[in-house]
Amino acid sequence: MDLQITPSNAIEVQKPTPQTGAFLCEQLERGQVLLFREVPFAFPDADRKFLLSRSAAESRFHKNISYRPASGAVHGSADNSDRERLLDVMQRFSREAAAFVARLLTPYAGKMRLDFASFRPLEEQGRDLPLHKRNDLLHVDAFPSRPTRGGRILRIFVNINPAAGRVWNVGAPFHAFVPGLMGSGSRLQPPQRGKAAQLFAHAAARLGLPVADRSHYDEFMLYLHDWLKENSGFQKDSPKREIVFPSGCCWMVYTDGVPHAVMSGQFALEQTFIVPVDALVAPEASPLRVLESAMGKKLN
């Protein structure tokens, strides 16, 4: 396998092999971004052209198209005329991406859980969104409705834009910046999971209501997602680097552990995986273990 540090500080993977899976896992877990100049799995040009042509049609899509492997459903399309074709494209992308990640990151094979895939057709620059929904502010990912209970959020992206790169700002990894924030005494105030919240969650579950059963870890990560976006000092002063993901490339990153902001770009595909802590090569660098060490207690 050939590795190269690109000018953007991502690790470019040129000839990956299964034998180097553990090394690549550790690089990802410690906050690196893996870059592939071309899509390293089957992605037919006809599928790319379909997504680009459908996106250009007025009112065809909402802000994101999501494919949910567990139910086999596509959500977010404003036009039902091509729904079967759209489902076929998203299913194939999800399947091929999952097979590639399992081949490449061998320690995770058979252990990670396939989560949602998405297509993001809108231009990110200049979007008018509420503060907590803005993508152009540094943040770490957390899912309000899909708690991971300590599992890590691994994502693989493809820039199918034929003419422009996708521009990110990327900050220091979780294990490098969070302990300092928590140790400062007045900056982070971790949420406390009250008895009332626990009783409500259990009651909702018994009644079949759609309320996520979040662990203390999940609640902290949701709090941190919002806190980072709200904190102008962190946005301005925290170390960050710009990475431009060129047209036709693919990249992988743990978005729960790497603060990131999407500054510009249009037409991106993405597949999410949830990787349990017991599958990790460097579990001590996971957000769960970092928080537990800083707080001196179990969180999941």
The pLDDT confidence band at residue 58, using thresholds 50, 70 and 90, is very low
**Which CATH architecture fits 3-295?**
Sandwich (2.60)
pLDDT at 185 over 90: no
What pLDDT, on a 0 to 100 scale, did the predictor assign at position 196? 43
Please spell the DSSP secondary structure of 30-82, one letter per residue.
TT--EEESS-SS---HHHHHHHHHHHHSTT-EEEEEEEETTTTEEEEES-STT
Between 133 and 183, the more confident residue is 133
Average pLDDT of the residues in 47-63: 70
Per-residue pLDDT band at 54 (split at 50, 70, 90): confident
**pLDDT number for residue 56:** 52
pLDDT of 144 strictly over 50 = yes
Residue 204's pLDDT is what?
Answer: 52
Per-residue pLDDT tens over the stretch 268-283? 999 999 999 999 999 9
Percentage of residues of the chain with pLDDT beyond 70 = 84
